Structure 1
Amino acid sequence: GESGNLRFAPECLCYIFHHMALELNKILEDYIDENTGRPFLPSISGENAYLNRIVKPIYETISKEVENSKNGTAPHSAWRNYDDINEYFWSRRCFEKMKWPIDVGSTFFVVSGRKRHVGKTGFVEQRSFWNLYRSFDRLWVMLILFLQAAIIVAWEGKDYPWHALSSRDVQVKMLTMFLTWSGLRFLQSLLDAGMQYSLIS
C-alpha cells in the first residue's frame, strides 16, 4: 500500500523487497544477532516507520526531480527521470552507497544542481543540429553510400548501370564505399562520445 507511491520505480521496489526479505528470513530462522546476543529485530520498526524512513525519502527525491524538469521543458541532462532512478537501483553502487536501512545522506538523495549527486545513468538526449544525423545515422549512412555508388556507376557513362559494374575499374572504385562507411561510423562514435561525455554519472 505505502509503496504505491513508488510504483513507477519497480527496481526500487525490488531493492526494498530484497532487504526486507533478508530481514524476514532472519526473523523466521530465529537468527541471533551477533552484536547483542538477542533474537534479530528488523532494522526498521515502529509506527509509520516504513513510510517515514523508506518510502518518504525516495518519494520526496523523485518529487524534487519532477520539479526540476519544469514540466518537461528543462533539458534532459538537468534532471533524473524514472528510468535513471530505476537504473540506479540495479547498480552495484546502490548497494554500496545506499545501504540498509536507507542512508538518507547518500548521494542518491542529493537533488540535481548540487555537487555530489547521482546524475543521469544512461542515455541523455542532447538537442542540437547533430541530433539530425545521430538519431537517424543508419538512414544517412544508407543514403550517402547509395549516392556514392550511384555517382561511381553514372560516371562511367554506360547505357545501363549494371553494364558499368562489369568493369574492373568500377568494381575497385566501389570498394571505396567501405572507407566512406568507416568514416561515417567514426563520425557516429565521435558524436556519441561528444554528446554523452560528462552527462552520465
Structure 2
Amino acid sequence: MESDLQTLRTRLCIIGSGPAAHTTAIYAARAELKPVLFEGWMANDIAPGGQLTTTSEVEDFPGFPEGIGGIELMDKCRAQSLRFGTQIFTETVSKVDFSASPFKIFSDSKTVLTDSVILSTGAVAKRLNFTGSDTFWNRGISACAVCDGDAPIFRNKPLAVIGGGDSAMEEANFLMAVARIVMQGKKKERGEKTADRRIVIPEKK
C-alpha cells in the first residue's frame, strides 16, 4: 500500500539513467538542488545506464578519442552524479501523479514528493526475434547505422537493413558510404517516395 512506502521530499526528481539523465543530475546537484534519480532496474530488459550498456564500443562520445566501452562510460557518468550529491535509487518508477503540486513519484518501496520532474527515459530498440539474434547483438547486429556503421566489423561488408519506413531508408543511405552492398528488407510499402528515390546502389570502381 502507498501508505507503507518510504516518503521523501525533494525539489527535483529525474527518471532515467542514460547520459541525458546523468548530465541533468550533475548540473542540478552542483546547483544544490539535491536531485533524486530513479535509474530503474531491468526496465524493458535493459540495465541501468540505458542502451549504451548494450554497446561494446562507443567512439562518437566527446572526450574519449580512443573510444570507451558503453558500460564503462555509464559507470563514469553515474559516479560523477554521485560525487556531486545525487541520490540514486535502483528502482523502476511504477506510477506518477501530476494532478497537483508537489508531484508524486511511486516505486516499489518509495514515494517521492517533488516540485519538478525530468523524464529522461530514452528509447528501446526493436529487435528481431530469430535464432542467434541475442548471440550476435553488437557483434554483427545493430540498431544504429550512424553509431556502428563505420566500425571495422561492418566496413566494406555486405549489409542488410530490415525495415520499410523513412528511418530504414535513411539508415540504408548512410550505409552506402561504408558497405559493399545494402539490401533492404521491407515488411510493407510505407516509406516516403522521396526517401525511396534517394536509395541508389553506388557503382564500385
* Greater strand proportion: 2
TM-score range, shorter chain: under 0.3
Higher-Rg structure is 1
- The structure with the greater share of residues assigned to helix is 1
Q: TM-score, normalised by structure 1?
A: 0.23
Return the TM-score normalized by structure 2.
0.23
